[in-house]
Structure 1
Amino acid sequence: MEKLQAALEKAREARNPTSPMAHQTHYDGTSRTKKNKGLQTDLWEALTPIDVSDQHLSKHRVVTRQAGPSAAPFDILRTKVLLQMRQNGWKRLAITSPMPNSGKTTTACNLALGLGRQKDLRAILMDLDLRDPSVHSFFRATPSHGIGDLLAGRVEFNDQALRIGDNVAVSMSLAAEGDPTRLLLAEETADIINHIEREYKPDIMVFDLPSVLVNDDTRAFLKNVDCALIVARTNSTRYSQFDTCEREIAEQTNVLGTILNAYLNVGTVSEQR
């Protein structure tokens, strides 16, 4: 707790132009950059760390914590996503699907841990499938507060999010929310996500969103992201469902690509549109 308070105090002093810390002399940009990175490192280190066994991850088809043949398809996805997002100056990625049981949460968790192997990157994964949250079961973790408390402004990110390794923060739900659309549509939610991005400066934020065609939750939130990946499942997702999903997403944000899941056990990503 003392470590957390110290980190937050440093961050507050750095943002306050009247504080003694803000008036310390830094003549070159390199020193200023190192100082800012140090403050962010303190904030990240203050997040509660968790660990999960490889056996549990494998049971849930999360295979990217270590490099290897199983991780290779998701590593390709990670590289394509990073290159396209960097090229466009994007940092916020939504992952969704036309209908449930397409593998979007599995994709989101694998992408997050794959990003975590890039030690020069920091990633935040947020479970915004608020009617049927499941990220907590993938990582076998229970946060002190649900993500609904975070979005409603009742708790701060440092009290709610958990950290995997040094550079992946995960914000998870405890249970289904009663009125998720209200939360996802609210301007307060947008403000809170903006605040998290300013404070923690992640290289990428990944949002696991509900399937587009089952309710209006994803439509309510897409205004807050830069781009979206659509996960479709072989022999399950109908073309008409995919077409409707893609058109609705494209009306609100950029379609980064499409993942065809359960096809020869290899996901593929289309070119950016």
Structure 2
Amino acid sequence: MEKLQAALEKARKARGAAPATVRQKPRSAPPDSDLAQDDLWGAIPSFEVSDTHLHEQRVVTRNAGPSAAPFDILRTKVLLQMRQNGWKRLAITSPMPNSGKTTTACNLALGLGRQKDLRAILMDLDLRDPSIHSFFETEPAHGIGDLLSGRASFGEQALRIGNNVACSMARKSESDPTQLLLAEETVEVIDQIEATYKPDIMIFDLPSLLVNDDTRAFLQNVDCALIVARANTTRYSQFDTCEREISEQTNVLGTVLNAYMNINTVSEQG
């Protein structure tokens, strides 16, 4: 594990900051964007999930406390760095599966939800193996494929936890995720969601980069990415390839070293 941690630091210093990648900003908002944001968000159906289930899934940030502290540190670092750069869209991925990326995404979203002046959107784009609905023990009325292909609106497909976190969850795996993630219509749908609901941050839970081409297909649509590596499991060569490929398409926000003495540590880039 110490070798991986040292390698991460060495690679970060050697490579330096990734060249800034500027995502094209969303198109102008649709006509209904002048509706009060409170009304728009309030119209999203809400759901409840027990603290017991969340803790079983290692989602610990709905309430402040010692177990939430590492993710709260992550939340603050992510938020401050994204604000400084004017970024809104964050991808969360990993080199290989079972690194804790979805756990990180869910904890980050609920941690942001405790900031009453913020609004966050969490989208499950791990379309071959979606799992956020399992973490939250609920399913939407429409699948995320229906949303991205325009068969359902965000207000119909998303569910809200608390007052200020909207979750776009999948019901099942998609048969051709890459085709969906590459589609121009998907870009237009996400632009419209951002323009209409005006979230402070959009979090996209993406597949592990080295497993298939789904994440590569979507990275051009985000402002930055967070890489989740797992101590004693992620190889340095896997991390290095992952970081290099991400930096070719967007900004690498940082790295979370997961399962290191049960504490998530963040290595900022640049």
Q: TM-score range by the shorter chain?
A: 0.7 to 0.9
Tell me by how many angstroms 1:13 deviates. Answer: 6.2
Name the SS for the 1:80 alignment partner: helix
Aligned partner of 1:183 among 171, 180, 183: 180
Q: How many Å separate the matches in 2 of 1:91 and 1:54?
A: 29
Structure 1 partner of 2:77: 80
Say yes or no: does 1:145 pair with 2:155: no
Tell me by how many angstroms 1:39 deviates. Answer: 1.2
TM-score, length-normalised on structure 1? 0.87
Higher relative contact order (CA 8 A, sep 6+): 2
Structure 1 partner of 2:122: 125
Q: How many Å separate the matches in 1 of 2:104 and 2:247?
A: 20
Q: Which amino acid aligns with 2:196?
A: E
Task: Tell me the alpha carbon deviations over residues 164-204 of structure 1, each in whole angstroms, 9 at most, x when there is no partner.
Answer: 00000000000000000001011110110000000000000
- % identical equivalent positions: 77
Q: How many Å separate the matches in 1 of 2:145 and 2:236?
A: 34
Which consecutive segments of 4 or more residues in structure 1 shift more than 2 A?
Answer: 11-15
Residue pair 2:102, 2:205 contacting (<8 A) in 1 also: yes
Aligned residue runs from structure 1 range 33-52, under 5 A: 39-52=36-49
Structure 1 partner of 2:53: 56
Aligned partner of 1:247 among 199, 224, 244: 244
Name the SS for the 2:266 alignment partner: coil
Q: Which amino acid aligns with 1:214?
A: V
Name the SS for the 2:267 alignment partner: coil
Aligned residue runs from structure 1 range 15-34, under 5 A: none
Q: How many Å separate the matches in 2 of 1:241 and 1:272?
A: 17
Larger radius of gyration: 1
- Unaligned residue ranges in structure 1 (runs of 5+): 1-10, 16-35
Aligned residue runs from structure 1 range 1-273, under 5 A: 39-273=36-270
Structure 1 partner of 2:5: none
Tell me by how many angstroms 1:272 deviates. Answer: 2.4
Q: How many Å separate the matches in 2 of 1:167 and 1:13?
A: 22
Q: Which amino acid aligns with 1:163?
A: R
Name the SS for the 1:268 alignment partner: strand
Tell me by how many angstroms 1:223 deviates. Answer: 0.5
Q: How many Å separate the matches in 2 of 1:271 and 1:54?
A: 31
Name the SS for the 1:100 alignment partner: coil
- Unaligned residue ranges in structure 2 (runs of 5+): 1-28
Q: How many Å separate the matches in 1 of 2:156 and 2:222?
A: 24
1:45–1:185 CA distance, 2 compared to 1 (3 A): same
Tell me by how many angstroms 1:14 deviates. Answer: 5.5
Tell me by how many angstroms 1:271 deviates. Answer: 1.7
Residue pair 2:254, 2:266 contacting (<8 A) in 1 also: yes
Structure 2 partner of 1:27: none
Q: How many Å separate the matches in 2 of 1:265 and 1:47?
A: 35
C-alpha RMSD of the superposition? 1.2
Q: How many Å separate the matches in 1 of 2:226 and 2:30?
A: 35
